[in-house]
Structure 1
């Protein structure tokens, strides 16, 4: 088990260096911002082997207080055993332009595999997710010095994205308690396109606390740092995000 712990720690450190190097790819512009995410996450156990997860994620800027993105996602999981599960699902996203009132729709099927294991009070999870992204095309024109024209077109573009996420959480109190249970969670994620001209997509680093109100209701609050490159535009965005999650288990 110690070898597994060292492997997980090494992999996490490697992913941090990968994020830094990927984020240093050349971009003509760099934008910063602060957002708050509010998320409802439902876990519905259909049987011993099947589970349906559904989430609604709403993301807004702090200043000015305006919408950034809305995502609805559902995933059906097959629990192979205590360590492996496989999932497939569909997401729908609306991305609000930071320049104009244009809203970009996206339809996003996905497939994933999770490997989970535990040691004492530590839990570890590795997730690999593939996504097929169908995004509404936008046409944007920058007019010096500060004017931007943007329209949404009737066509969609496709790209294939791969995501790897490593998550670890530590039980601060006895995990067998049904309420009053606290967890500390840390995760890192790297996303990349299979298009080498647009390889870098997003990196995320997250740290937060989970509180178990009951064995079926959890509250989570944390800080997420993300670096994103806008697809087909040479602009890099650094976001500081405050994320609140209400988790409900049926």
Structure 2
């Protein structure tokens, strides 16, 4: 069953690549402002909180609110963590900065994940496997309508981190990051866009104190729309404030 699902995804990606000339690609530029709080409750339990505002450079119009994403992680040992969480997500439609906002669509998104970290000398390699259940509010394009649509999404992220300026304490440490994340939709309502999106990220993280870090990076976000032959190719500048507390 798992092998059949994997082969189906590979086949759809291959067919999609053959029809590249028929793709309609919309290019957009955005900036993301994010707060990422990490609260260490004990050696085994950690709570994280994310709030993120994603806006177009054009007219400074908002596209998405992540408000918030909460994650509870448990240390399994040997580099592994298990986690579960919830995201309240708001999408402003239409997804065109030249048009005024007409409706804001809520999404309810619980998730489960496994994380694995390995170190090769100074290089840190992080793997994240996340399964999301997505309840997206129905809308007519101009107003919300009753009910929700539902589908699953699987996400895999690989991230490499390497210290350019290495210090024993976080303050003054400069770290380079490179990451790629791919996402797949599945469910009864998914017809043409089993491949959802791919995100490539490169950034620099600097520790300004033992508990606070600042990060600036570039993220390329390539996303397939539900029609199957329409795509967004978005260039994003992302700024993150990391805040870590131990209780």
Q: Find the aligned partners of 2:134 and 2:70 in 1 and give their Cα distance.
A: 15
TM-score (norm 2): 0.84
Given candidates 160, 168, 172, the residue that maps to 2:152 is: 160
Structure 1 residue 21: Cα displacement: 5.8
Q: Does residue 191 of the first structure (1) align with residue 192 of the second (2)? A: no
Q: How many angstroms apart in 2 are the aligned matches of 1:209 and 1:21?
A: 34
User: For residues 137-216 of structure 1, what are the structure 2 equivalents within 5 Å?
Assistant: 137-140=138-141, 150-195=142-187, 197=191, 198-216=193-211
SS at match of 1:64: helix
Match of 1:145 in 2: none
Please, what is the CA RMSD of the aligned residues? Answer: 2.2
1:75 aligned to which of 68, 71, 82:
71
Aligned residues, how many? 224
Per mean C-alpha deviation after superposition, the further-off stretch among 198-207 and 225-234 is 225-234
3-state SS of 1:180 partner: coil
| TM-score between the two structures when normalised by the length of structure 1 | 0.83
- Alpha-carbon distance in structure 1 between the residues aligned to 2:16 and 2:37: 32
Partners of 2:224 and 2:56 lie apart in 1 by 18
Give the corresponding residue for 2:88. Answer: 92
CA 119–233 in structure 1, closer or farther in 2 if over 3 Å, else same: closer
Structure 2 residue aligned with 1:231: 226
Distance 2:171 2:104 in 1: 41
Corresponding position of 1:59: 54
Q: What are the ranges of 5 or more consecutive residues in structure 1 without an aligned counterpart?
A: 1-16, 141-149
Are 2:216 and 1:221 aligned? Answer: yes
Deviations 1:158-188 (A, max 9, x none): 0000000000010112241341110000000
Cα offset, 1:31, TM superposition = 1.1
1:112 aligned partner? 113
C-alpha contact 1:204 1:226 (8 A) present in aligned 2: yes
Q: Residues 21 and 186 (structure 1 numbering): CA distance in 2 closer, same or farther, change over 3 Å? A: farther
| Residue 127 (structure 1) aligns with | 128
2:7 is matched with which residue?
A: none
Structure 1: distance between partners of 2:217 and 2:74: 28
Cα pair distance change 1:90/1:29, threshold 3 Å? same
**Which range is displaced more, 187-196 or 66-75?**
187-196
Gaps of 5+ in 2: 1-9
